Amino acid sequence: MNESIITVENLVKRYKDLIALDHFNLEVKEGEIFGLLGPNGSGKSTTINCILGLLKYDKGDIQVFGQKMKPDSYDLKANIGVIMQNVAVFKELTVYENVDYFCGLYIKDKALRKQYVNEAIDFVSLNDFRKFYPKKLSGGLLRRLNIACGIAHKPSLIFMDEPTVAVDPQSRNSILEGIQRLNKEGATIVYTSHYMEEVEQICTKIAIMDKGKNLAIGTADQLKAMIQNTETVHIETLNLSKEVENKLSGLSHLYKQSYNDRILKLYFNGGDNNLLSTLKILEDNHVRFGRVYSELPTLNDVFLEITGTELRDKEA
């Protein structure tokens, strides 16, 4: 059984009248890619900063590697890598010099440090940019440099706070693939994001956060199994009579339906042939329709059912 790498119990953090973390609990086990999913302002970054001993908190207990984390727990922090949301590199140093500096904070042996620096630069595919200064790099390349600086000393626990914000799709895919490679090489990773698709793609366990609380936790499949919805059918149709709507409401496993802006949505909580059954009713009643598709539940559906608000809506 994998050991607990991080244990957070009953954590409370206040900023005057704002409760940023409200009796928050968390357990991250060795070998996990643990995703903290939630809208901006839900408490994800505050959680990480408290775990790292960078923020004082009002109540609770935090242990990392089985030991209490304190601001001066340098022995614990030496085995942790941190990639924060804001790129933190030195503009006066080249790519190589930046990675070398951050690696040198932990690795004093020059030969070993050189090996680690070269491996980190190669890992994020920045070999062609070793002598470039940060101002010459695109946003995506800067993110990769930021990651190289955080992982060069080969930590066994890595925190990544929104590492793909404002990067191009190619860099985003490269970063996500890199995270999975780090995990396969033995690193435990805590990954925060408000991008559902990313979290679902790479995380082995997920906590859904909102307003400083941990609302649900599990694998993506376990989270989806917590909600009523198993399938949503979408159909474009110009005219849908009340008579046909009433016939559709008799479909097996249908628990909700809506018709707005020429889009019919049918929500099911089971069944194997919902789309076929729906189309048969429309065809039998001579209803013309356009685009048709069936959608399995997403993490946004989980968030919506738990909070009453779509995660996408809360990004604005």
Residue 309 lies in a domain: no
Which CATH number does the domain housing residue 181 bear? Answer: 3.40.50.300
In terms of domains, do 273 and 196 share one? no
Residue 283 lies in a domain: yes
In terms of domains, do 206 and 247 share one? no
Residue 104 lies in a domain: yes
In terms of domains, do 246 and 105 share one? no
CA distance 5 to 29: 5
Last residue of a domain, one of 195, 225, 255: 225
Residue 106 lies in a domain: yes
CA distance 68 to 194: 29
How many structural domains does the chain have? Answer: 2
SS3 280: helix
CA distance 189 to 198: 14
In terms of domains, do 215 and 236 share one? no
Please report, in tens digits, the pLDDT of each residue of the chain (316 residues total).
Answer: 679 999 999 999 999 999 999 999 999 999 999 999 988 889 999 999 999 999 999 999 999 999 999 889 999 999 999 998 888 899 999 999 999 999 999 999 999 999 999 999 999 999 999 999 999 999 889 999 999 999 999 999 999 998 888 788 888 888 899 999 999 999 999 999 888 889 999 999 999 999 999 999 999 999 999 999 999 999 999 989 999 999 999 999 999 999 999 999 999 999 999 999 999 999 999 999 999 999 999 888 898 888 878 776 565 4
Answering whether pTM is above 0.85, one says yes
In terms of domains, do 130 and 208 share one? yes
CA distance 104 to 114: 9
Which CATH number does the domain housing residue 252 bear? Answer: 3.30.70.100
Give the domain extent around 256: 231-296
In terms of domains, do 239 and 284 share one? yes
Residue 305 lies in a domain: no
In terms of domains, do 280 and 217 share one? no
Handedness of CA 256, 285, 237, 298 (dihedral sign): positive
